[in-house]
Amino acid sequence: MKLFTGLIFCSLVLGVSSQWYSFFGEAAQGAWDMWRAYSDMREANYKDADKYFHARGNYNATQRGPGGAWAAKVIR
């Protein structure tokens, strides 16, 4: 427990925690990109267009940063 508390304190002092906040934000935005591509695919209702929409969702999510890339990898 002391080790965990020390790591949290050091991360706050060094400013590393701001990267984690951005990671979670990027992951949420990446998941939203994937959802938007999926809903666009359902709305288009066009035969054999799923590869395009999946690729578009993955691309948009990965452009968000490391969090978005993680979300795209988990969701696909």
Report the CATH number at residue 67: 1.10.132.110
> Looking at the whole model, is its pTM more than 0.85?
no
Asked if residue 22 has pLDDT above 70, the reply is yes
Task: Output the pLDDT for position 14.
Answer: 52
Domain presence at residue 58:
yes
With respect to residue 22, please indicate whether it lies within any of the assigned structural domains: no
User: Does residue 1 belong to any structural domain of this protein?
Assistant: no
DSSP the chain: -HHHHHHHHHHHHHTTHHHHHHHHHHHHHHHHHHHHHHHHHHHH--TT-HHHHHHHHHHHHHTT-HHHHHHHHHH-
Looking at the structure of the chain, the number of domains it has is: 1
The string over 4-16, giving b where at least 16 C-beta atoms fall within 10 Å of a residue's C-beta and e elsewhere, is eeeeeeeeeeeee
* Tens digit of each residue's pLDDT (9 = 90 or more) over 34-65: 999 999 999 999 888 889 999 999 999 999 98
Residue 13 resides in a domain: no
| 19 found inside a domain | no
Task: Assess if residue 21 is contained within a domain.
Answer: no
